[in-house]
């Protein structure tokens, strides 16, 4: 999954032959999971039709403040459009439009939207060789960059005039990659490696039966997604679950038993900056696993159990600079038990949730948690979606890391 997933991207198109590439650019943004709207200069419609772009973006295309062919004219609000966008990319950006942007000229809807935008603005120049090298164009570049806009440099190749040189608009794939990298480089967890565990463990009784629990793994998967969206490289060690996730920054390591999870977690812990253990690991496992299916013979049946290794505690004993987070699912004396685990397992933060709270626990899409820091600060949260809880958790971790 791209870092652009669910981002609102506004694509501005100006009157250059490179506008034909804008259709591919819209498709790539949509493929990355972004929401796309298009605003065009009136002259750009000579190069590519609004119908093509609206079909690809699944949104109306804007090129004027009102639709003059509509008797019931409605104002297209450039302010709302500029505020809607998380990213504004102008591609192609002609010499004419860049000069207007640089000097505050506002004679069409695209320029009005640009002046209203509060988000990062990228521009991808496209023009002929001599225009690209002209001092006035270079002056526009400098001004636009000084305003905080981001230049996606033109490439070198055959131009519409037949000349070969600099001025060719960057290819759509390069533009998308450039924006993705720029966003990632500014994220607070860029360069950090986070180890996360999720889901239950299954402890075999015989080849067909096991001891397990009702954990769905959803909380851990949401935490992994939230961490990756903040730029972290995530190793997700997950027990058996129906959850799935696709993200370029998430590597999934499937395991089944507590012993397998223990080994996989220890394999990655030393290279991790943060470890978040949200999985529901079995506390006990059958001491002996039958090699054949156990037949139903007697009215009662006993299984001797032995303790599994305490993964969280084992990490607390060997951690050096890692920030270690544990989860506590309690049914009584919740705060007391959670604070006990916080200290005994050498944690930096523990996330407490209670089966007594309606809407929390296993198998639901919501959770109600309390954060307890290493200084025993108690931070209570309301019932929220597990996705929102994951985001709150990452913000709490960032707060403690930067304290």
DSSP 3-state of 49? coil
Instruction: Say whether 353 is catalytic.
Output: no
Residue listed under structure tokens 């924006």: 179
Both structure tokens of 209: 């039966």
- Name the nearest CA neighbour of 91 among 147, 148, 9, 169: 169
DSSP 3-state of 290? coil
Q: What's the rounded Cα separation, in Å, for the pair 234 and 238?
A: 12
Sign of torsion over alpha carbons 37, 43, 44, 47 = positive
**Cβ(231)–Cβ(269) below 8 Å:** no
Q: What's the rounded Cα separation, in Å, for the pair 389 and 372?
A: 14
Burial class (CB in 10 A: 0-12, 13-18, 19+), 309: middle
Whole-Å CA distances, 221 to 58, 175, 398: 30, 30, 19
Both structure tokens of 316: 């607390």
Both structure tokens of 15: 């009157």
Q: What's the rounded Cα separation, in Å, for the pair 238 and 245?
A: 12
DSSP 3-state of 9? strand
Residue listed under structure tokens 């109306």: 60
Question: In the beta sheet, which residues pair with residue 202?
Answer: none
- Name the nearest CA neighbour of 105 among 140, 131, 80: 140
Both structure tokens of 84: 């809607």
**Cβ(385)–Cβ(393) below 8 Å:** no
Whole-Å CA distances, 240 to 23, 162, 196, 339, 353: 42, 60, 15, 29, 22
Q: Which of 8, 96, 213, 346 is catalytic?
A: 213
Question: In the beta sheet, which residues pair with residue 198?
Answer: 238
Catalytic residues: 213
């Amino acid at each position: 999954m791209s870092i652009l997933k669910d981002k609102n991207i506004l694509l501005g198109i100006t009157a250059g032959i490179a506008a034909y590439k804008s259709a591919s650019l819209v498709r790539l943004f949509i493929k990355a999971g972004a929401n796309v709207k298009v605003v065009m200069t009136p002259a750009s419609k000579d190069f590519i039709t609004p119908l093509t772009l609206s079909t690809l973006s699944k949104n109306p295309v804007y090129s004027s403040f009102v639709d003059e062919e509509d008797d019931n004219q409605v104002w297209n609000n450039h302010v709302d459009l500029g505020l809607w966008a998380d990213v504004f990319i102008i591609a192609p950006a002609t010499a004419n439009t860049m000069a207007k942007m640089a000097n505050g000229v506002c004679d069409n809807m695209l320029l009005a939207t640009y002046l209203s935008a509060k988000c990062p603005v990228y521009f991808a120049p496209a023009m002929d060789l001599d225009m690209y090298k002209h001092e006035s164009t270079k002056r526009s570049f400098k001004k636009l960059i000084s305003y905080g806009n981001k230049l996606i440099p033109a490439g070198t190749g055959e131009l519409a005039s037949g000349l070969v040189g600099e001025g060719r608009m960057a290819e759509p794939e390069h533009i998308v990659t450039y924006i993705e990298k720029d966003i990632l480089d500014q994220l607070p967890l860029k360069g950090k490696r986070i180890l996360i565990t999720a889901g239950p463990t299954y402890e075999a009784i015989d080849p067909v039966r096991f001891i397990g629990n009702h954990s769905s793994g959803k909380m851990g998967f949401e935490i992994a997604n939230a961490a990756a969206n903040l730029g972290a490289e995530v190793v997700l060690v997950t027990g058996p679950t129906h959850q799935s996730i696709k993200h370029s920054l998430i590597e999934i390591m499937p395991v089944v038993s507590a012993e397998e999870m223990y080994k996989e977690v220890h394999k990655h812990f030393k290279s991790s900056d943060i470890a978040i253990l949200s999985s529901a690991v079995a506390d006990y496992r059958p001491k002996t696993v039958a090699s054949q299916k156990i037949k139903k013979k007697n009215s009662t049946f006993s299984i001797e159990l032995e303790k599994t290794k305490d993964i969280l505690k084992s990490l607390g004993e060997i951690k050096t600079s890692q920030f270690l987070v544990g989860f506590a699912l309690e049914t009584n004396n919740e705060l007391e038990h959670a604070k006990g685990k916080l200290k005994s397992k050498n944690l930096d933060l523990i996330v407490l949730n209670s089966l007594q709270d309606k809407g929390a626990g296993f198998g639901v899409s919501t959770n109600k948690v309390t954060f307890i820091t290493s200084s025993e600060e108690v931070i209570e949260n309301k019932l929220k979606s597990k996705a929102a809880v994951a985001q709150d958790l990452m913000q709490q971790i960032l707060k403690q890391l930067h304290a």
